[in-house]
Amino acid sequence: MPKLDDAERLAHMLDYARMAQSVSTGRTREHLDTDTLFSLGVVRALEVVGEAANRVSPAGRQRLPNIPWPKIIGLRNRIVHGYDLLDRDVIWGIISNDLQPLIAELEKAVQPERP
């Protein structure tokens, strides 16, 4: 399997961040507690954002200082290793407050490289 480069990892981050945002449109915090498929989908999308972020090279991360790399990767680690300790209020805060700024930063980084 070929190794992906930073541009492809950033594109994955953008795609999955957009996916998390899209499935969250029209939803409320309560849906994380009551809609299992929504909760699973959003958490999985955030996990992929974090995994892709973890695979961006240190040089690639340095080129994009406005992206909160440690927080994104830390969330991925929490999802994978502390799945039973996930705070849905934190997840909702990410959906509500953090996804759009992340998407904006990723769009600036990815757009020049996408056709």
- The pTM score is 0.92
87-115 residue pLDDT tens: 999 999 999 999 999 999 999 999 765 55
Task: Please count the residues of the chain.
Answer: 115
Read off the pLDDT of residues 39-63 as tens digits, 9 standing for 90 and up. Answer: 999 999 999 999 999 999 999 999 9
CA distance linking residue 76 with residue 45, whole number of Å: 10
Domain layout of the chain by residue ranges = 19-113
- Residue 77 host element (H or E): helix 69-81
Residues serving a catalytic function are 76, 81
pLDDT tens per residue across span 57-80: 999 999 999 999 999 999 999 999
